[in-house]
Chains A and B, each alone.
Chain A
Amino acid sequence: MAERKVVAAQSAVHLDDLCRTYERDGQRIPVLEHISLSIPQGEFIALMGPSGSGKTTLLNLIAGIDRPTSGSVEVHGINVSALSERALAKWRSRSVGFIFQFYNLIPVLTAAGNIELPLMLASLSRKQRRERALTALGIVGLADRAEHYPRQLSGGQEQRVAIARAIVTDPQILVADEPTGDLDAKSAEGILDLMQTLNREFGKTIVMVTHDPRAASRAHSQKHLEKGVLLEASP
Chain B
Amino acid sequence: MKWMPFILRHLQRNWIRSASTASAIAVCIFLFCTLQTFVASLRGSLSQGTARLVTRNSVSRFVSLPYAYGERIAAVPGVERVAAVNYFGGMRNVNNPDSEFENYAIDGEKFLAMYPEYMLSDAEKKAFLGDQHGCIIGRALAEQFHWKNGDAIQLTSNIYRTGPFDFVVSAIYQTDQVRYPGTDDAALFFHHKYLDEATGRKAGVRNYRVQIADPRQAGVISHAIDDLFENSDTQTHTETEAQYSASVGVLSGNLLLLLNGIGLAVMFTILLVTANTMSMAVRERHTEIGVLKTLGFSARLVLCLILAEGALLGVFGAAIGLALGRFLINLLPALPVIGDLVQLFPRMNVPPAIAAAGIIIGLSLGLAAGLFPSVFAYRARITELLRRV
Q: By the criterion CB–CB under 8 Å, are A109 and B382 in contact?
A: no
Q: By the criterion CB–CB under 8 Å, are A109 and B9 in contact?
A: yes
* A6 on the B face (CB < 8 A): no
Q: Say which one of B123-131, B172-180, B248-256, B284-292 lies at the interface with A.
A: B284-292
Return chain B residues, CB-CB under 8 Å to A113. Answer: 9
* B158 on the A face (CB < 8 A): no
Q: By the criterion CB–CB under 8 Å, are A65 and B382 in contact?
A: yes
Q: By the criterion CB–CB under 8 Å, are B295 and A92 in contact?
A: yes
Q: By the criterion CB–CB under 8 Å, are B2 and A65 in contact?
A: no
A65-B383, A66-B382 are contacts. A121–B297 as well, Cβ < 8 Å?
yes
* B294 on the A face (CB < 8 A): yes
What CA separation (Å) do A86 and B298 show in the bound complex? 6
Q: By the criterion CB–CB under 8 Å, are B295 and A85 in contact?
A: no
Q: By the criterion CB–CB under 8 Å, are A120 and B293 in contact?
A: no
What CA separation (Å) do A60 and B12 show in the bound complex? 32
Q: By the criterion CB–CB under 8 Å, are A92 and B13 in contact?
A: no
What CA separation (Å) do A102 and B288 show in the bound complex? 12
Return chain B residues, CB-CB under 8 Å to A120. Answer: 2-3, 6
Q: By the criterion CB–CB under 8 Å, are A108 and B10 in contact?
A: yes
What CA separation (Å) do A106 and B6 show in the bound complex? 10
Q: By the criterion CB–CB under 8 Å, are A118 and B296 in contact?
A: yes
Return chain A residues, CB-CB under 8 Å to B353. Answer: none
Q: Say which one of A39-47, A73-81, A93-101 lies at the interface with B.
A: A93-101
A108-B12, A120-B2, A120-B6 are contacts. A60–B293 as well, Cβ < 8 Å?
no
What CA separation (Å) do A97 and B389 show in the bound complex? 20
B interface residues, how many (CB within 8 angstroms): 26
Return chain A residues, CB-CB under 8 Å to B298. Answer: 85-86, 89-90
The chain A residue with its CB closest to the CB of B2 is A120
A65-B383, A66-B383 are contacts. A126–B2 as well, Cβ < 8 Å?
yes
Q: By the criterion CB–CB under 8 Å, are B295 and A98 in contact?
A: yes
* B299 on the A face (CB < 8 A): yes
The chain A residue with its CB closest to the CB of B381 is A66
Return chain B residues, CB-CB under 8 Å to A100. Answer: 291, 386
A65-B382, A108-B9, A120-B2 are contacts. A89–B291 as well, Cβ < 8 Å?
no
What CA separation (Å) do A89 and B382 show in the bound complex? 11
Q: List which A18-69 residues lie within 8 A (CB) of chain B.
A: 60, 63, 65-66
Q: Could you mark each residue 342-375 of chain B with 1 if its beta carbon is under 8 Å from any beta carbon of chain A, else 0?
A: 0000000000000000000000000000000000
Known: A100-B386, A165-B295. 15 other contacts (CB 8 A): A60-B382, A63-B294, A65-B293, A65-B386, A85-B298, A90-B298, A93-B296, A94-B296, A98-B295, A108-B9, A109-B9, A118-B295, A118-B296, A121-B297, A121-B301
Residue positions of A touching B, CB distance < 8 A: 60, 63, 65-66, 85-86, 89-94, 98, 100, 102, 104, 106-109, 113, 117-118, 120-121, 126, 165
Nearest 8 CB-CB pairings of A with B: A93-B296, A108-B9, A65-B382, A92-B296, A89-B298, A104-B291, A108-B13, A118-B295
